[in-house]
Homo-oligomer: A and B are copies of this chain.
Amino acid sequence: MLKGRHLLDPMDFTTSEIDEILELGGEISKNPEKFSKACQGKILATLFYEPSTRTRFSFEAAMLRLGGQVIGFSEPNSSSVAKGESIADTIRTIACYADIAVMRHPKEGAPRVAAMYSSIPVINAGDGGHQHPTQTLTDLLTIKSLKGTLSNLTIGLCGDLKFGRTVHSLIKAMSRYENNKFILISPKELKVPDYIKKEVLEKNNIEFLEVERMEDVIGKLDILYMTRVQRERFFNEEEYLRLKDSYILDKAKLKGAKEDMIILHPLPRVNEIAVEVDEDKRAKYFEQAKYGMFVRMALIMKLLGVEVC
């Protein structure tokens, strides 16, 4: 039962709860019109204590396409909420005005505190270390829709695998489905942390491979999930410049890939995918953004307990 629940961590929901959301998301993606009045009379509050236009737009469009409405702020300055008020008080006040809230906050755990005091569902749209559960739902709906399954897939993850929570969450989420394999493509300095390898992959007997060069493995992949190498993650500028171009996907590298491989990326991309790749039919990262809106529509409906016959 998802009605009235919060979504704070990608693993807050069971596999069957996630499947329920993905099923509805898939249905919405095929016939959005049918859901255009599902949330009439409902209000979503978007509480962005740090700006994230893309994520905010995705949630707002989701709510509006369900016939609901939106109030909110998009950066801390415009929020008098800052005037020394606690998160607890803020969410209790917001709950007087809105039916569901989305929060993005620079401090890790802030959405969890809000949820403790909230009488309305709270969705974490990214906190401190960028735990970002709706990105994971987005990835899952995209894979399920485009590959037709969440099982028996060989998933390549490429780029900064050390700091990227998006990648960690995706590994955890896909590990819950049968017979998936992971190929982890990164420079040594940015490898997946040990706890993911030990507590998620090895513990569940999941096959995985760590490599340094995309070219060596691209032919095996059903999914190539690219991520950005963020300048701020590096210890020094020199290190950044040495590594940043090592993991760029271009047409040349794509030659060795399967015809039905799909290329995903959480966006925004900087230069980790060459623009020439956009025309390739395997490039699915913009479609992925669209699935992001559909899965948020499904999530909002589920947490509000709204149904459409």
Instruction: Return chain B residues, CB-CB under 8 Å to A15.
Output: none
The residues of B that contact A98 with a CB separation of less than 8 Å are 57, 61
**Contact in complex: B52, A80 (CB < 8 Å):** yes
Contact B84 A268 (CB under 8 A): yes
Contact A290 B84 (CB under 8 A): no
The one of B89, B97, B292 in contact with A61, judged by C-beta atoms closer than 8 angstroms, is B97
- Report the minimum CB–CB distance from A175 to chain B (whole Å): 28
Q: Within 8 Å of chain B (Cβ to Cβ): is A16?
A: no
Residue of B nearest to A267 (CB): B93
This chain's copy number in the assembly? 3
Chain B residues near A89 (CB, 8 Å)?
267-269
- In angstroms, Cα B274 to Cα A86, docked, is 12
Q: What is the interface size of chain A, counting residues whose CB is below 8 A from a CB of the partner?
A: 49
**Does A205 sit at the interface, judged by CB under 8 A?**
no
- A75–B75 CA distance with the chains assembled, in angstroms: 11
CB distance from A113 to the nearest CB of B (A): 13
Knowing A268-B89, A286-B92, the reply to whether A41 touches B51 (Cβ < 8 A) is: no
Report the separation of the CA atoms of residues A95 and B77 in the bound assembly, to the nearest whole angstrom. Answer: 28
Given A43-B61, A64-B69, A51 and B79 contact (CB-CB distance below 8 Å): yes
Q: Is A289 an interface residue (CB 8 A)?
A: yes
Q: Is A53 an interface residue (CB 8 A)?
A: yes
Looking across the interface, which residue of chain B has its beta carbon closest to that of A68? Answer: B64
Interface residues of A in 40-89 (CB under 8 A from B): 41, 43, 45, 51-54, 57-58, 60-61, 64-65, 69, 71, 73-75, 77-81, 83-86, 88-89
A145 within 8 A of B: no
Find out whether the CB atom of B43 lies under 8 angstroms from the CB atom of A96: no
Q: Does A202 interact with chain B (Cβ within 8 Å)?
A: no
Let me know if A306 is at the binding interface, CB within 8 A.
Answer: no
* A293 contacts the other chain (CB 8 A): yes
Across the interface, which residues of B come within 8 angstroms of A33, CB to CB?
41
Tell whether A73 pairs with B53 under 8 Å between CB atoms, given A93-B267, A96-B293, A293-B97.
yes
Chain B residues with Cβ below 8 Å from A92 are 286
- Does A94 touch B at the CB level, under 8 Å? yes
- With A57-B97, A98-B61 as given contacts, are A84 and B43 in contact (CB-CB < 8 Å)? no
Partner-B contacts on A (CB < 8 A): 33, 36, 41, 43, 45, 51-54, 57-58, 60-61, 64-65, 69, 71, 73-75, 77-81, 83-86, 88-90, 92-98, 267-270, 275, 286, 289-290, 292-293
Task: Give me 6 other A-B pairs in contact (C-beta within 8 A), A53-B73, A74-B78 excluded.
Answer: A43-B64, A51-B77, A85-B270, A93-B267, A93-B289, A96-B286
